[in-house]
């Protein structure tokens, strides 16, 4: 049996508000992680190595390569029961596990490290007004393209018919 990599874990406990305020706090933390790590040399090296064999200046090909790296290379794993957790992009990359927010932060960080603007999209599918999932949009060739690396669908796919929906203002 092959075991997953085991990066050294560290963190802190932060109290989050309930409801929409808690979602806003989580999104703010996620954006902070992207901003902090998009200039990290290990992140940039991973991104440039991933896109190296794609056609130059082909934004869709570059983004597709990074999308597939996260979608196919990071195992979806839920948070601790009853606890919202966020991993740094490096921790997600090294451990190769994470839930939707971890995978989206990693993908946004990789994309931004090679010049692509990103924004988070939060959606709910069960209860009107309740947000339960986050995915990403990247601006490619002047268009915002959906990217959900937690689902085995192609770049551009987003789950249909959300009953709640919000897009990060960037």
How do residues 73-119 score in pLDDT, each as one tens digit?
999 999 989 888 999 999 999 999 999 999 999 999 999 999 999 99
* Sheet of 143-147, strands arranged across: 143-147, 133-140, 118-124, 164-167
* pLDDT in the model for residue 82: 85
Nearest CA-CA partner of 94 in 4, 32, 1: 4
Backbone φ, ψ for residue 133 (5° rounding)? -145, 145
Taken in order of first residue, the domains within the chain and their CATH numbers are 19-167 (3.10.620.30)
Q: How far apart are the first and last CA of the chain?
A: 44
| Integer Cα distance of 134 and 150 in angstroms | 10
Whole-structure pTM value: 0.93
């Amino acid at each position: 049996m092959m075991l997953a990599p085991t990066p050294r874990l560290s963190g802190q406990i932060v109290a989050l508000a309930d409801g929409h305020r808690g979602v806003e706090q989580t999104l703010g933390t996620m954006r902070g992680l992207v901003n902090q790590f998009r200039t990290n040399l290990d992140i940039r090296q991973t991104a440039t190595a991933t896109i190296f064999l794609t056609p130059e200046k082909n934004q869709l090909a570059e983004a597709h390569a990074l999308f597939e790296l996260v979608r196919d290379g990071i195992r979806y794993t839920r948070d601790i029961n009853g606890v919202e957790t966020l991993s740094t992009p490096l921790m997600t990359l090294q451990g190769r596990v994470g839930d939707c927010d971890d995978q989206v932060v990693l993908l946004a960080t990789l994309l931004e490290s090679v010049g692509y603007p990103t924004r988070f999209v939060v959606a709910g599918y069960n209860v009107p007004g309740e947000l339960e999932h986050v995915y990403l949009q990247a601006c490619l060739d002047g268009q915002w393209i959906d990217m959900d690396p937690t689902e085995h669908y192609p770049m551009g796919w987003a789950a249909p018919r959300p009953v709640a929906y919000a897009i990060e203002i960037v």
